[in-house]
Structure 1
């Protein structure tokens, strides 16, 4: 089988495809034939600069290694002790740092869920990471509820597009920031109002918010405390909360991590099945080296609306 590997960090040309033996699952493992994977921020950052300094030691990859987190596929083989999955099951899941491969080997206790076989697996390849992060920031930590007014920063990206939908599903009023070109896209996802971050100052347009979900950087976060009402909440996924500012303003701040239980994943899959949650696909790329490199270039260029998905061709 083919697998994308890194032997050093840097520009897209450090990625290369190798032929390796297809793994055989042990008693408590499953082997998934990969259908599609999402291109995500960690792929770009780790490929370019190596593991994040804040990563726990046990999670830090060591060269040579692959990339990738979320995936969809079909179970190709199961170990003798596996009960949760069967050959032929359609699944979505997470496999930290090794989804850029035609087959993925996982423990049967991994964050994987079956999905109905009538669902298209291609968009589901980019479902889990963005949805998990959005769920943590919006529902679990943000405690979004009906009647609230919620601001989502970076509403057009892979995480933001999910955060808008999740916030809207609670019955909240949703405001989202993005570029003017992304406004129609964010409104189609459920945003009641959009703010052009390039030409408008959100601090002059909104106030007394119940929740701010920051999916951008530290500068936006620093300016967001002032628009949250006393007793409100602010969550952030890529910039640390300032505990002094939250305490002075009487608000709750949480640095959100997209860690899900299998039960939570099944709940999100059910929302997807009901059509209450979708994965907007920006562009698809075949699992070929030049196309993978281009997917990384396109992601880095910014202005993303939805997910970039790498799609695997049928293989023996």
Structure 2
């Protein structure tokens, strides 16, 4: 099978396609034929600079290694002790630094769940990481409740789009920041108000919100504390919380990590199946080296609206 590997970190030319043996499952493992994968921030950042300094040792990649997190595919082999999956199951999930490959080997205890076979696997290839991060920042750590007001920074990206939908499903009034070009898209997802971060100052337009979800950077996070009501919350996936500032203002701040339990994954799959969550596919790329390099270049260019998806042959 074909697999993308890194032997060093740097620009897109450090990506190499190699031929390796197809994996064979042990007793408690499954093999998934990859249908589609998402292009995500960790892929680009790690490819450029190596592992994040804060990564736990258990998941910190060591060269040479591959890339990729979320995926969709079809189970093609199961180990003798596997009962949760069967050959032919359509599945989605998380396989850290392992999805840039035509086949993925996973333990049957991995964060993987089946999806209805009538669902298109292409958008689902970019579903997990965005919804996991959004779920953590909005539901698990954000603790949104019906009737609250939520400000989401970066509402048009893969994570932001899911955060808007999750907040609306929870019954909240949603304000989202993005560019003027992205306003209509954010409104389609359910944003009640949009703010153009390039021409408008959100600190002059918003006050006393129940939750701020920061998906952009430290500068935006620092400016967000004053718009949260006393007793409110701010979550961040990009920029560490200033604990002295949150304590001074009487608010709760949490740095959110994007993961889902299998049960949580099944919950969001149900919402997706019911049409309550969607994935906008911004662009697809074939699983070919030059196309993958272009996907990274396009992601790095910024202004992403929806997901960039790498699609494998049938």
TM-score, length basis structure 2: 0.99
Structure 2 counterpart of 1:253: 253
The alpha-carbon deviation at position 204 of structure 1 amounts to 0.0
Equivalent residue, structure 2, for 1:217: 217
Displacement of 1:268: 0.5
Measured in 1, the distance between the counterparts of 2:280 and 2:163 equals: 12
Gap runs ≥5 in structure 2: none
Matching residue of 1:83: 83
Confirm or deny that 1:205 pairs with 2:205: yes
Taking the TM superposition and a 5 Å limit, the aligned residue runs for 1:1-150 are 1-150=1-150
**Mapped contact 2:137–2:213 kept (Cα < 8 A):** yes
Which residue is 2:283 aligned to?
A: 283
SS in 1 for 2:75: strand
Q: Give me the whole-angstrom Cα distance separating, in 2, the residues matched to 1:82 and 1:278.
A: 31
CA distance in 1, matches of 2:105, 2:147: 44
The 4+ residue runs of structure 1 with deviation greater than 6 A are none
**What's the TM-score, normalizing by structure 1?**
0.99
Q: Residue 238 of structure 1: CA displacement?
A: 1.5
Aligned residues between the structures: 314
SS in 1 for 2:48: helix
Within 2, Cα distance between the matches of 1:94 and 1:259? 9
Counterpart Cα distance in 1 of 2:183 and 2:201: 15
1:259 CA drift (Å): 1.9
How much has 1:173 moved relative to structure 2?
0.4
RMSD: 0.5
Per the alignment, residue 187 of structure 2 pairs with 187
Give secondary structure in 1 for the equivalent of 2:109: coil
Q: Tell me the SS of whatever aligns to 1:135.
A: helix
Query: For the residues of structure 2 that align with 1:149 and 1:53, how far apart are their CA atoms?
Result: 34
Return the alpha-carbon distance in structure 1 between the equivalents of residues 181 and 70 of structure 2: 28
Shift of 1:6: 0.5
3-state SS of paired residue (2:58):
helix
Indicate conservation of the 8 Å contact 2:72/2:92, yes or no.
yes
- Specify the SS of the correspondent of 2:247: helix
Given that 2:187 and 2:194 are in contact with CA atoms closer than 8 Å, whether structure 1 keeps it comes out as: yes
* 1:146-192 superposed Cα distances (whole Å, 9 cap, x missing partner): 11110000000010010000011111000000000100110000000
State how far apart, in whole Å, the 1-side matches of 2:119 and 2:148 are.
32
CA deviation vs aligned residue, 1:13-55 (integer Å, no higher than 9, x gap): 1001000000100000000000000000000000000011111
Question: Gapped runs of 5+ residues in structure 1?
Answer: none
Is the Cα–Cα contact under 8 Å of residues 129 and 259 in structure 2 kept in the other structure? no
1:225-277 per-position Cα deviation (integer Å, ceiling 9, x unaligned): 00000111100012111111111111111111112110000001000001000
Q: Distance in 2 between matches of 1:260 and 1:232?
A: 24
Contact 2:145–2:171, Cα closer than 8 Å, also in 1: yes
Find the aligned partners of 1:97 and 1:238 in 2 and give their Cα distance.
Answer: 20
Q: CA deviation at 1:82?
A: 0.1
SS of corresponding position for 1:168: helix
Residue 234 of structure 1 corresponds to 234
Find the counterpart in structure 1 of residue 266 from structure 2: 266
Q: Deviations over 1:77-120 (max 9, x none)?
A: 00000000000000001000010000000000000000000000
1:58 Cα deviation from its structure 2 partner? 1.9
CA–CA distance in structure 1, aligned partners of residues 33 and 224 of structure 2? 43
